[in-house]
Amino acid sequence: MSKRRVLTGIKPTGSPHLGNYVGAIKPPIAASRDANADSYFFLADYHALISCQDPIRVQRSTLEIAATWLALGLDPERVMFYRQSDIPEIPELTWLLTCITSKGQLNRAHAYKAAVDANTAEGVDIDAGISAGLYMYPVLMAADILMFNAHAVPVGRDQVQHIEIARDLGQRFNHVYGSDFFTLPEAQVDETTATLAGLDGRKMSKSYDNTIPLWDEPVTMRRLVMSIVTNSQAPGDAKNPDESHLFSIYQAFATAAETAAMRNAYQDGISWGEVKLALFERIDRELAPARERYRHFMTNPQQVETLLLRGAERARAQSRPLIVRLREAVGLRSVAATAVVATESTRTSDVLQPELKQYRERDGRYYFKLTEKSVGVLAQSIGFANGQDAGATIARIKLGEAAIANDELFLDEVMIARAPAGIASADVSAGLAALVAQEAEARAKKSAQA
């Protein structure tokens, strides 16, 4: 049984705060330890460009969020951990999806509608200040999700519409091009996840300037916690914990036993100063070990960069083969393959009948060989670190990409490795050309039957 794929992304436009930690960082990291799930964590830096044109801020925030995930226990060997902009197949998929997306659907997207409503209320042009990036945000998000065929995406309730759009686009693409290319994702909304109040009692948010930064030094965090707004109830007065912002924050960090004890203390008239001090100490106790790891990663950015690039290579082992399939599906194919189908005199039944066979050697690497019944082995490939890369190369060959039959560099680097004695490049080229024609004819027949 295949594992359930869960995909989580964070937009790097600022420093993480306690609200981010409780709502969007801690729960997915805990869930990533589930042996029955494959977890994908990515830094959505393309998304960041929609609202932030400060390159230093985007770069700094990318490092801070990556360091935060790592410091809090994300295991890059266990999960897929990558930066969105390191996966070139994502923007390519965005365009493929854009071409089947209705403008009306994007007109109804919440973020765009909110911006239009704000402009309308101010009496200015409805699209004033609205970038195409904001308008196309749902399509890019759909590409993030569909690229890796995620089954579930943890989101807040305000993001559910984006997952529904991703489902719609995946379903539409599958229908238009006649195959199950994409898994249809589901929004994973955890109703028990806490939404923390900020310093002023409103939801903790950068837009309200009421946040408590996650990695502040203890002395600074203590000062901020002690400044949280409370009512005028005096020490000794019984207090209602269910109406207290302080209690809700404390509950997000405390154990069940600690929460019960604090609830009793409220009823016994604990002072606000004592609650704030207990809250600070509980937060600091949880974050102190991770704070040291965070400092390590922030002072060793090359280590973070290495992990991100390594994760991108692992992710691309999945994205590359899929984009090859999608390009074939939409018609972005070699014209050489089309020409062969159109010419009756080049029927593959009258020429060579080659095959590509993939296998794994004892060295653990993946190979494939080009064979032909009347000749035997024409050529063997170089070794690939994983089967996905070998499979993606086979797909390229079958599609005739980059005019492979005449691409000596490709032949030298991929197909001539350990070629049998007496086999010349021309023989390999002829075999490859016949293979491309054979595949094209098979596709044409299948299309005609459909």
280 in Cβ contact with 221 (< 8 Å): yes
Counting residues of the chain whose pLDDT is more than 90, the rounded percentage is: 68
Is 364 in the same domain as 246? no
Torsion sign (Cα): 361, 385, 369, 349: positive
Which of 252, 279, 297 delimits the end of a domain? 297
Q: For residue 1, what pLDDT is reported?
A: 45
pLDDT tens-digit readout, 255-270: 999 999 999 999 999 9
Mean pLDDT along residues 99-128: 95
The answer to whether position 421 is within a domain reads yes
Q: For residue 403, what pLDDT is reported?
A: 44
The answer to whether position 166 is within a domain reads yes
Highest mean predicted confidence (pLDDT) among 84-98, 152-166, 322-336: 84-98
CA nearest 215: which of 302, 158, 284? 284
**Considering the chain, what is the average pLDDT of its residues?**
88
Count the domains in the chain: 3
Report the CATH number at residue 75: 3.40.50.620
Q: Which residues in 231-260 are b (16+ Cβ under 10 Å) and which e?
A: eeeeeeeebebeebbbbebbbbbbeeeebe
Is 267 in the same domain as 354? no
Q: How confident is the model at residue 363 (pLDDT cuts 50, 70, 90)?
A: confident
**56 pLDDT more than 70:** yes
Which of 157, 191, 225 delimits the end of a domain? 191
Which of 191, 226, 255 delimits the end of a domain? 191
Is 187 in the same domain as 219? no
Is 178 in the same domain as 59? yes
**407 pLDDT more than 60:** no
Lowest mean pLDDT among 49-53, 126-130, 260-264, 437-441: 437-441
The answer to whether position 327 is within a domain reads no
- As a whole number of angstroms, the distance between CA 215 and CA 152 comes to 29
Show the 3-state SS of the chain: CCCEEEEEEECCCCCCEHHHHHHHHHHHHHHCCCCCEEEEEEECHHHHHHHCCCHHHHHHHHHHHHHHHHHCCCCCCCCEEEEHHHCCHHHHHHHHHHCCCCHHHHHCCHHHHHHHHHHHHHCCCCCCCCCHHHHHHHHHHHHHHHHCCCCEEECCHHHHHHHHHHHHHHHHHHHHHCCCCCCCCEEECCCCCCCCECCCCCECCHHHCCCCECCCCHHHHHHHHHCCCCCCCCCCCCCCHHHCHHHHHHHHHCCHHHHHHHHHHHHCCCCHHHHHHHHHHHHHHHHHHHHHHHHHHHCCHHHHHHHHHHHHHHHHHHHHHHHHHHHHHHCCCCHHHHHHHHCHHHCHHHCCCEEEEEEECCCCCEEEEEEECCCEEEEECCCECCHHHHHHHHHHHHHCHHHHHHCHHHHHHHHCCCCCCCCCHHHHHHHHHHHHHHHHHHHHHHHHHC
Question: Tokens representing 60?
Answer: 């700094």
pTM confidence score: 0.74
Residue 228 belongs to domain spanning: 215-297
pLDDT tens-digit readout, 276-291: 999 999 999 999 999 9
- As a whole number of angstroms, the distance between CA 324 and CA 439 comes to 15
Report the CATH number at residue 342: 2.30.29
Is 171 in the same domain as 220? no
Q: For residue 412, what pLDDT is reported?
A: 55
Q: For residue 378, what pLDDT is reported?
A: 79
Is 224 in the same domain as 266? yes
Mean pLDDT along residues 158-163: 92
pLDDT tens-digit readout, 311-353: 999 999 999 999 999 999 999 987 766 554 444 444 433 446 7
CA nearest 10: which of 64, 90, 76? 64
pLDDT tens-digit readout, 184-229: 999 998 876 778 999 999 999 988 899 999 999 999 999 999 999 9
Mean pLDDT along residues 403-416: 52
Q: For residue 338, what pLDDT is reported?
A: 55
